[in-house]
Structure 1
Amino acid sequence: MNIIIHPTYFPNIAHFAAMINAKEIVFEMDDSFLKQTYRNRAYIYGANGKLALNIPVIHSQKNRQKYRDVKIFNEENWQDIHWKSLLSAYRTSPFFEYYEDELLPLFTQKADYILDFNLKCFEVVCDCLQLDLNISKTETYQKIIEDKTDFRYLVNAKKEMLQQFDNYTQVFSDKHGFTPNLSILDLLFNEGPNTLNYLESQTLALK
C-alpha cells in the first residue's frame, strides 16, 4: 500500500501504524496550516491523564499560510515545558532512559519552522526504532488523491477516529485505565523494542 500523510509533532499511534504498514509513504508538504490539528500538537499520558503538548506558532493575519511557511513562536519557553512534561510523565517508564539522550537535543536546540521541526522529530524516532521507511515529499497540493491511500485526515485532532487499538501497559494505567492513540513517545517509552511489533499488528479503518 502506498499512502499520503501529514508530518506531525511526534505522530500518534494511528499515524505510525499507517506508515509502518505502508510500502511507500508520501509526506504532504504543500497544504495550508490549520489550527486544532496534530501539526503542532501531541498527546501524552501524564499523572492526571491525557495531556496535550502544544507548540506555539506565529499565525499570519492576512492570508492562510502554507504549512511549510509557519514559524514557531519561540518567545515562549515551550521546549523546556514539553521536556519537563515528558520527564514527569515517563521517567519511571521502562525505556525512557534508553531513548532520553537521542530525544533531548530536540528540546534544547532552537527550531524555526514547525514543519522542519516535525520532520526532525520523525527522523529521531525512526533512529530510536532503527526504522528505515521509504519516504518522499509532495511538490504540489492535490485535493483528490487517486493512486495512494489518503491518510491526511488523521491530522485532525478534533475528529478522533473510531479505531480499536490493542492495550499495552502505560505508566498511569492503574489510575486512569488505558488511553489509546497517544503520541508514539508513549508507546516507545513503555514498550521499547516491542514498539514495531505492536504497530505492525494494528489495523486501521480507512476513512
Structure 2
Amino acid sequence: MIDKGAVLPLFYLPPAAYFTQFNTFKPDVYIEREEHFPKQTYRNRANVYSPDGVLSLVVPVIKGSKNHTKVKDVRISYDFNWQRLHWMSLQACYRRSAYFEYYEDYFTPFYEGKFEYLFDYNQQLLELILKLLKIKTELRFTESFEPAYAAPVADFRESIHPKKPAVAISKTYYQVFEERHGFLPDLSIVDLLFNQGPQALQYL
C-alpha cells in the first residue's frame, strides 16, 4: 500500500508539468500499472509545437484496447506507419531548435524498432528522458489498482489531461515558432528538451 509520495500515469513523451511533479516527489513516485486504459489522454498522445501551433502526435493502439483493457496489456497498432509520421513531425517542429541534433540519436530507435506493448514503449521513453534530464531515480510501479488515494499521497492520474487546464511550468522559455503563436505552455517534455538542452531541469 502506498502511504506517501505521488502516483503518476505512464504517458507518451509526457508534458513538462509531469516532470515537475516527478522531480518534486522523487524517490517516492509510483507509476500506475494496474489501471484500465482510458481513451484520449496523454497515455498515447503528446502535444508538440508545429509551425501551425499545437500538433497532437497519437500512438495508435489495437482496437479492443479500450476501457476494459489494463494499460500494461494495450498493444500498439502498426496498421499505418505512424512512427515515420511522428519522427518527420518532430524533425519539422524542432530541426531549427538549439539541441535537436544533440538529442536526435537517442530518440531515433523509438521510431525505427517496433514495440508490442504501449506500456513498455512509454516506460523506455520515460527512462531515456529522465536520464537526459539528469533526474536520478528508480522507477517504482503500483501493485494493485486503487480508485483513489488518501492524503498525503498525491494522485496525478486524472489531473494531467489534454482536456483539463494546463498545469504550466513556472517559467517561459524560447520556443522555435513563438513569433507566430506566442509561448505555448504544457507541451511535451521534448519541446523543453530540444529548446533548452541541459538547462531543461532548471525550468522544472
Question: Which TM-score applies when normalising by structure 1?
Answer: 0.91
**What is the aligned-residue RMSD (CA, Å)?**
1.7
Aligned-pair CA distance for 1:88:
0.3
After alignment, is 158-167 or 120-129 more displaced? 158-167
SS of the equivalent of 1:50 reads strand
Q: In 2, are the aligned partners of 1:25 and 1:136 still within 8 Å (CA)?
A: yes
Residue 52 of structure 1 is matched in structure 2 by 56
Matched, 1:157 2:162: yes
CA distance in 1, matches of 2:43, 2:8: 11
Query: Which 5+ residue runs of structure 1 have no aligned equivalent?
Result: 200-207
Question: Which TM-score applies when normalising by structure 2?
Answer: 0.92
Matched, 1:14 2:37: no
CA deviation vs aligned residue, 1:16-51 (integer Å, no higher than 9, x gap): 111011131100000011111000000000011100
1:189 to 188, 191, 194: 194
Matched, 1:138 2:142: yes
Aligned-pair CA distance for 1:167:
1.1
Aligned-pair CA distance for 1:163:
4.5
2:41 to 34, 37, 40: 37
Q: In 2, are the aligned partners of 1:3 and 1:148 still within 8 Å (CA)?
A: yes
2:80 to 63, 72, 76: 76
After alignment, is 121-130 or 106-115 more displaced? 121-130
SS of the equivalent of 1:38 reads coil
Aligned-pair CA distance for 1:62:
8.7
After alignment, is 112-121 or 131-140 more displaced? 131-140
Pairs aligned (count) = 199
Q: How does 1:160-171 map to 2 (within 5 A)?
A: 160-161=165-166, 163=168, 165-171=170-176
Q: In 2, are the aligned partners of 1:5 and 1:26 still within 8 Å (CA)?
A: yes
Matching residue's letter, 1:5:
L
Q: In 1, are the aligned partners of 2:98 and 2:196 still within 8 Å (CA)?
A: yes
Q: Percent identity?
A: 40
CA distance in 2, matches of 1:138, 1:55: 23
Query: Which 5+ residue runs of structure 2 have no aligned equivalent?
Result: none
CA deviation vs aligned residue, 1:142-173 (integer Å, no higher than 9, x gap): 01212521111134321234656421100000
CA distance in 1, matches of 2:168, 2:197: 23
CA distance in 1, matches of 2:176, 2:168: 22
SS of the equivalent of 1:9 reads coil
Residue 184 of structure 2 is matched in structure 1 by 179
CA distance in 2, matches of 1:124, 1:194: 17
CA distance in 2, matches of 1:84, 1:63: 30
Matched, 1:110 2:111: no
Residue 5 of structure 1 is matched in structure 2 by 8
Aligned-pair CA distance for 1:61:
7.8
Detail structure 1 runs of 4+ shifted over 2 Å in the superposition.
160-165
Matching residue's letter, 1:83:
W
